Structure 1
Amino acid sequence: MKILVILSALLAVASPYVYSKCELARTLRRNGLDGYRGYTLADWVCLAQYESTYDTEAIGRNRRGGVIVSSDYGIFQINSYWWCDDHQTRNTHNGCGRNCNDFLDRDITNDIECAKTVVRDPQGMNAWYGWKNNCKNRDLSRFLAECNL
C-alpha cells in the first residue's frame, strides 16, 4: 500500500498539466514576473497562451527543409538551440544551463527562471514569435480581466 501511495504522489508531480490563465497569472506574479524587465503580467500570460496554450508538457518542433533543427519545451516553449539542452539539437548554447525535459512538468519554477534569462537578452520577449506576433503592442487586458488579482 505504501508503494502505491508513493507512486501516486510521483505521478501527480510528474504528470502533464494545463493551467487556467488566472491560475497561471497568480503563479507568475508570486514568482516575480509582473513588471519583470518592463513586461506586464498580461504579457506573460499572453505569451503562454500563444506558445503552449498553458500546457506544461507542450513540445514544438522547428524544421528547416523537413529536418528538425531545434525544439521548444514547456509552458514558455524554451528553445533547445539557445536556452536548454535536449541532447538532440546540434551546437546548443544552453543559456539557462538546463536539460529541456526539466521544462515539461507541473512545477514551472525552473521555466520561470529560464524565461527571466531569456528576457534579459537584448531581444527580450521578441525571442518568442507567439508574443511578437500576437501580444506585442496590443491591448492585453482581456488576459487578466476575470482573474481578480
Structure 2
Amino acid sequence: MRSVLIISLLSCFFAVYNAKVFSKCDLARKLKAHGMDGFHGYSLANWVCMAQYESNFNTRALNGKNANGSADYGIFQLNNKWWCNDNKHSSANACNIMCSKFLDDNIDDDIICAKRVVRDPNGMSAWVAWQNHCKSKDLSKYLASCKL
C-alpha cells in the first residue's frame, strides 16, 4: 500500500513538472499561426487574455470544482459537459475528443475545439473568465511586447 501511495505521488509530481506553461507571446504566436487572429471576430489579444485568466497559460490546468459537477481541461479550460468526454460524466462531446487530450503540451486539438466553441451563438461568452476580465476592455497590453 505504501508503495502505491509513493508511486501515485511521484506520478502527480511528474505530471505537474512536465506541464508546459506558455509565455503570452509564445501563445500569441502559436494562436496566430493557427488562424486565431480575427477568428469569428475575436482578436488575438482576446484569446491570449482568455487563456491567461482561464489557465494562466498552463496546458495541464484542470478544474474539477464546477458547481454542476463538471470539470474544465487544459489551456482553454474546455468543459467535459459540452466539449469533451472524460468517460465519467454524460457529455455532448461537441469537439468529439477525450478530455485528457487537452492536458498534454500539444495544444493543436485545444485550438480546434476552441474554434468550435466560438462558432456557437455564445461566442467567447462561453468563457466566464473572458466575460469578467477581457470583454470590452483595452487588451493592447496582451500583445504589446510581442513581435508578431
Q: Same fold (TM over 0.5)?
A: yes
Question: Structure 2 CA distance, aligned partners of 1:124 and 1:70?
Answer: 20
Residue 77 (str. 1) matches residue 80 (str. 2) = no
Question: Structure 1 CA distance, aligned partners of 2:97 and 2:69?
Answer: 18
SS in 1 for 2:40: helix
The residue number in structure 1 matching 2:117 is 118
The residue number in structure 2 matching 1:26 is 29
Instruction: State, as a whole percentage, how many aligned pairs show the same letter.
Output: 52
Structure 1 runs (4+) deviating above 4 angstroms are none
Unaligned runs of 5+ in 1: 1-10
The residue number in structure 1 matching 2:138 is 139
SS in 2 for 1:110: helix
Output aligned runs, 1:1-149, within 5 Å: 15-64=18-67, 69-89=69-89, 91-149=90-148
Residue 16 of structure 1 deviates from its aligned partner by 1.5
One-letter amino acid of the structure 2 residue matched with residue 141 of structure 1: S
Q: Deviations over 1:34-77 (max 9, x none)?
A: 0000000000000000000000000012343xxx6110000000
SS in 2 for 1:51: helix
Structure-2-length-normalised TM-score: 0.86
One-letter amino acid of the structure 2 residue matched with residue 30 of structure 1: A
Residue 88 of structure 1 deviates from its aligned partner by 1.6
SS in 1 for 2:69: strand
The residue number in structure 1 matching 2:8 is none
SS in 1 for 2:118: helix
Residue 131 of structure 1 deviates from its aligned partner by 0.3
Unaligned runs of 5+ in 2: 1-13
One-letter amino acid of the structure 2 residue matched with residue 130 of structure 1: A
RMSD: 1.5
One-letter amino acid of the structure 2 residue matched with residue 49 of structure 1: Q
Query: What is the total number of aligned residue pairs between the two structures?
Result: 133
